[in-house]
Chains A and B, each alone.
Chain A
Amino acid sequence: MRPSKLKKEPYSIIISGVGGQGNVLLSGFIGAALVNEGFVVSVADTFGVSQRGGSVSSHIKISERTLYSSVTLKGKADVLIGMEPVEALRTLVEFGNHNTITIVNPRPVYPTGGVAYPDLDEVKRTIEKMSSQTKYVSATEEALKMGNPIYSNVILLGAIVGADILPLSKESFMPLLEERFPGKMLDTNLRAFNKGMELIAGA
């Protein structure tokens, strides 16, 4: 299947979350799939000590012709994948605009050290106001049902592919999933991927 053209040149995607949630795994899958489909991509992940429970994000800039700097310009995110609600809002504050499409995993990760978490409903309402479309994918809850929160990022990957915001199909990811999850792991991860596609279809 030929990839469709990009909706914009360059096209900017941000995946934000909390250190340990697996944003780097997601951005790696998406980046590799895009390169395989002939796009020029640049992926910047938060590195360093923030990986330890701090706010983290991966910026993916996609082009059909040239290599751009990896970090998104202020207010220029086309798509936001929020692995955590407050982190989704934090990203919109800096990089969002009226046309940003947002997908959020609504389960909070509480900051440590007695920092209060804001009212979740208010956070969600604000995200919706700051996005052109907002879809919720309960990735963590579904992953816990599958027995391990680790599956939440592959569930989200399925949701991203199902949301039709990338010039990529499920087929683009199959070889990557097969390589990353050998043997029995593949089945469970494919179930997680399909679950994500299913959730976004109903969102």
Chain B
Amino acid sequence: MANIAVNRPGSTVLLMGNEAVARGALEAGVGVAAAYPGSPTSEVIPALAEVAEEMNMYVEWSSNEKVATEVAAGASFAGIRSFGVMKQNGANVAADFIVNLNMTGIGSAGMVIFISDDPGGGTSNNEQDSRTISKWIDNPLMEPSSAQEAKEMIKWAFEVSEAVNLLTFVRGVGRISYTRSNVVLGELPGKAKPKPFFPEIWDMNNPRKSKFTSGPFSVFHKPLHEKIEKAREIFESSSFNQYMGPEKPDLLIITCGACTSYCIEGVDELKMSERVGILKLGTTWPLPEKLVARHLSSTRKVLFVEEMDPFVEGSVMELAAGLLPATANLTFFGARSGHLTPYNELSTDIVINALEDILGITYQPRDSAYEDLAEEGAKLVPDRPINMCPGCPHRASFWAIKNAIQLDGRNGFLCGDIGCYSMGFAAPGFFQSRTMHAMGSGTGVASGLGKLGRFGFDQPVLSICGDSTFYHAVMPALVNGVYNDSNFTLLIVDNSATAMTGFQPHPGTGQLATGEPATIVDMEAVCRAMGASVEICDPFDLKETIGVLLRKMQEGGGPKVVIMRHMCQLVKAKRKIPPSYKMHVDGSKCLADNCGCNRLCTRLFACPGLMLDSETGKAAIDDALCVGCGLCSEICPAHAIVKEEANR
């Protein structure tokens, strides 16, 4: 990870979008930053935490996004610029606070939240467009088109936030957050911060700034609408809104964010820059209506290029409806016309396809001879299913769950949750997870299912969550289960990391975001204090773990907690903990297809460290991948996989 506090204004460095966002916060003089890890934004807080001391900042991993936003708001109330970071799902968690924060307004210092959405869902279980939140709560929204612009926008967002006294959103997408590109550094402010002071209640000159209570809304709702109109005025002249193209284009593209470069590149590739104009909006809510209206009057055809919801498309069409009959001759293309989709990530190629159709031109990137080769080549290429890492403790846990449920024989099932173990719904977790929604939902759903006994429901109910997820949103669901005496078993797969998003510390790890030691919030003690019974096992001890799970499924009464504890293999590797075992396959024992196991180890158990030797037809260990966890030796029915103590 790049050091983002390099004090060389004007120099150019390669930064990931998320690092550029963090640099923007530094250049804005942010004093407090808080977040819960969530890709595509997970790198922002670590970049800030690394330089927190030298830049005189307070940076924390919060227990969830709502708390993170509250932590940041507190700083703003006391006069310190504050910064929150979240993925789209996190915005939902924070929304309950944010909808009220917009009523009270922020403090004297600006407050900005960077949200990154995930078109294509590469790191998410949904494809939500968070921009809509800005519309329903009336706060300003900007969308950067590159890492450089993300940095500049974060800085400017603080100024806007202070000018209108509202929380301001900067919204990226995975492609902006994760693309690394040239960024020209700006000035870093001095390290001194204003002395925080929570305003006195009797500041009669500024009564609204001395109180942050969201009621009575009759007092606050009207000013909110005045504030958002003020933001619209500011946005009308923002240099983040730019037009490129002829004065009277045959086609006007209106775009924003990551799509901007797809449009520029597509028009360039088609050599259509004399016919097509591009209006790139950096400020997308409230819409700078005068600016857009001017451009609408210059053309007859408009194409909206934006990812996911037709958000700008809807706003502009509302505007156009209000401008009738002047806009009666306009034809609109975009998600509504079917030229683009309101789902999936877009790309330059997709924009080119839409332009071909609208402009009546054709584009062929390579000749038909090569297309034929590509078609033949494609037939050779197998799928490569995602998997858990070699030696992943979750594989051991799901193997134990699968076996325990089968041995129990009463159609028990598992309610899944969000983390690496989300893969439990698919082959890597042997298809064990049967529900999966939001952080903590598995246990909430289990708590409901566990109360259906009165109707004759008799299937054992299990839920699963990771250690970080437990602190984020499972605790209230477990409290609910204990209070209402619901019969289910919560499995906490504790791998000592927020592994999915890059090994961030959490309240159970004894470490702060900045690496300093922290008080460990003991999950076992928390569960016991809530009134749940707790057992701890190591999933690599398969026999014992299966026994514990069987017993728990058969016990009655309220929630039971099983902590399945084993360190993530990637954390082990980072800490340079050597492998436990050296593995090999005893060729005389592996009977391959004559065994009757139906190639259990490579086909079903499917650890990436195992492979089928195509010459012998027998199982083999891939030395480049095996981490020596030893588990596969226990699942081979022929005992052909052998583990030996590794020489440490």
Contacts of A140 in B (CB 8 A): 624
> Which residues of B have CB within 8 Å of A70?
175, 179, 181, 261
With both beta carbons as reference points, the residue of chain A lying nearest to B349 in the complex is identified as A74
Taking the complex as formed, is B14 at the interface, i.e. its CB lies under 8 A from any CB of chain A? Answer: yes
User: A91-99, A154-162, A191-199: which lies at the B interface?
Assistant: A91-99
Contact B384 A54 (CB under 8 A): yes
A93→B374 contact, CB < 8 A? yes
Q: Smallest Cβ distance from A74 to chain B, in angstroms? A: 5
Of the listed stretches B90-98, B545-553, B601-609, name the one at the interface; the rest are far from the partner chain. Answer: B601-609
CB pair A53 B386 closer than 8 Å: yes
- Interface stretch, picked from B61-69, B70-78, B296-304, B375-383, is B375-383
Q: Is B58 an interface residue (CB 8 A)?
A: no
Q: Does B623 contact A (CB under 8 A)?
A: yes
Q: Which residues of A contact B608 (CB under 8 A)?
A: 53, 109, 112
Instruction: Return chain A residues, CB-CB under 8 Å to B273.
Output: none
Q: Is B387 an interface residue (CB 8 A)?
A: yes
- A74 CB contact (under 8 Å) in B365, B367, B376, B611: B365
Given contacts A130-B373, A130-B377, contact A113 B603 (CB under 8 A): yes
A41 at the interface (CB under 8 A from B): yes
B174 part of interface (Cβ distance < 8 Å): yes
Q: Would you call B179 and A54 a contact (CB within 8 A)?
A: no
A133 beta carbon closer than 8 Å to chain B = no
B182 at interface (Cβ–Cβ under 8 A)? yes
Q: Does residue A89 face the partner (Cβ distance < 8 Å to B)?
A: yes
With A28-B180, A42-B179, A49-B122 as contacts: A115 and B265 at CB distance below 8 Å? no
Residue B366 at the chain A interface, CB threshold 8 Å: yes
Query: What residues of B have a CB within 8 angstroms of the CB of A116 in the complex?
Result: 382
**Interface: A76 (CB within 8 A):** yes
Q: Which residues of A contact B474 (CB under 8 A)?
A: none
B500 to chain A, nearest CB (A): 8
CB distance from A143 to the nearest CB of B (A): 8
B13 within 8 A of A: yes
Kindly supply a per-residue 1/0 record for chain A positions 63-107, scoring 1 wherever the CB is within 8 Å of any chain B CB and 0 otherwise: 000011111011110000000001101101110111000000001
Contact across chains for B181 and A98 when beta carbons are under 8 A apart = no
Which of B177, B366, B369, B603 is in CB contact (< 8 Å) with A75? B366
Chain B residues near A130 (CB, 8 Å)? 370, 373-374, 377
Name the residue of chain B whose CB is nearest to the CB of A32. Answer: B14
Instruction: Find out whether the CB atom of B386 lies under 8 angstroms from the CB atom of A75.
Output: no
Residue contact A53 to B387, C-beta cutoff 8 Å: yes
A46 within 8 A of B: yes
User: In the assembled complex, how far is the CB of residue A59 from the closest CB belonging to chain B, in whole angstroms?
Assistant: 9
Given that A18-B384, A71-B348, A118-B382 are contacting pairs, would A110 and B612 also be in contact in the complex, using a CB cutoff of 8 Å?
A: yes
Q: How far is the CA of A47 from the CA of B39 in the complex (A)?
A: 9
Question: Do A114 and B261 touch (CB < 8 A)?
Answer: no
What's the Cα separation between A110 and B608 when bound, in Å? 8
Q: Which size class do A's interface residues fall under? A: 35 or more
Q: Which residues of B contact A149 (CB under 8 A)?
A: 623-625
| B-contact bits for A158-184, CB 8 A (1 contact / 0 none) | 000000000000000000000000000
Contact assessment for A115 and B385 in the assembled complex, using a CB-CB cutoff below 8 Å: yes
- Residues from chain A with Cβ under 8 Å of B389 in the complex: 20, 52-53
CB contacts (< 8 Å) of A48 on chain B: these are 39-40, 118, 121-124, 174
For window 254-294 of chain B, which residues contact chain A by CB distance below 8 Å?
258, 261-262, 264-265, 269
* Residues of A contacting B188 in the complex (Cβ-Cβ under 8 angstroms): none
User: Given known contacts A48-B123, A49-B386, is B377 in contact with A93 (CB within 8 Å)?
Assistant: yes
Set of chain B residues within 8 Å of A122, measured between Cβ atoms? 380
Q: Is the CB of B622 within 8 A of A110?
A: yes
**Are A129 and B373 within 8 A (Cβ)?**
yes
A203 → B minimal CB distance (Å):
21
Closest to B259 in A: A69
Contact of B436 with A by CB under 8 A: no
Task: Give the CA-CA distance A49 to B381 in the complex, in Å.
Answer: 20
Q: Which residue of A lies closest to B623 (CB)?
A: A144
Q: How far is the CA of A94 from the CA of B388 in the complex (A)?
A: 27
Known: A47-B122, A47-B178, A54-B386. A89 touches B427 (CB 8 A): no
In Å, the complex CA distance between A40 and B183 comes to 10
Q: Tell whether, in the assembled complex, residue A50 and residue B386 are in contact, meaning their CB atoms are under 8 Å apart.
A: yes
Q: Report how far A40 CA is from B373 CA in the complex, Å.
A: 33
- Whether the pair A126, B380 counts as a contact (CB closer than 8 A) is yes
A113 and B387 contacting across the interface, CB-CB below 8 Å: yes
Residue in contact with A86 in the complex, picked from B122, B365, B381, CB distance below 8 Å = B381
The residues of B that contact A112 with a CB separation of less than 8 Å are 385, 387, 602, 606-608, 610
Shortest CB–CB separation between residue A159 and chain B, in angstroms?
18
Q: How far is the CA of A107 from the CA of B625 in the complex (A)?
A: 12
For residues 16 through 61 of chain A, which have their beta carbon under 8 Å from a beta carbon of chain B?
18-20, 27-28, 31-32, 34-35, 40-50, 52-55
What are the 8 tightest A-B residue pairs by CB atom distance, in nearest-first order?
A48-B122, A114-B603, A48-B123, A69-B261, A75-B365, A75-B366, A53-B387, A149-B624
Which residues in A have some Cβ–Cβ distance to B below 8 Å?
Answer: 18-20, 27-28, 31-32, 34-35, 40-50, 52-55, 67-71, 73-76, 86-87, 89-90, 92-94, 96-98, 107, 109-118, 122-123, 126, 129-130, 140, 143-144, 149, 152
> Measuring CB to CB, which residues of chain B are less than 8 angstroms from any residue of chain A?
12-14, 39-40, 118, 121-124, 146, 148, 174-175, 177-182, 258, 261-262, 264-265, 269, 347-349, 352, 365-367, 369-370, 373-374, 376-378, 380-389, 420, 423, 427, 599, 602-604, 606-608, 610-612, 614, 622-625
Instruction: List 15 A-B pairs, Cβ < 8 Å.
Output: A18-B384, A42-B181, A43-B181, A47-B40, A69-B347, A71-B348, A75-B370, A92-B374, A96-B374, A98-B369, A109-B625, A111-B385, A113-B387, A122-B380, A130-B377
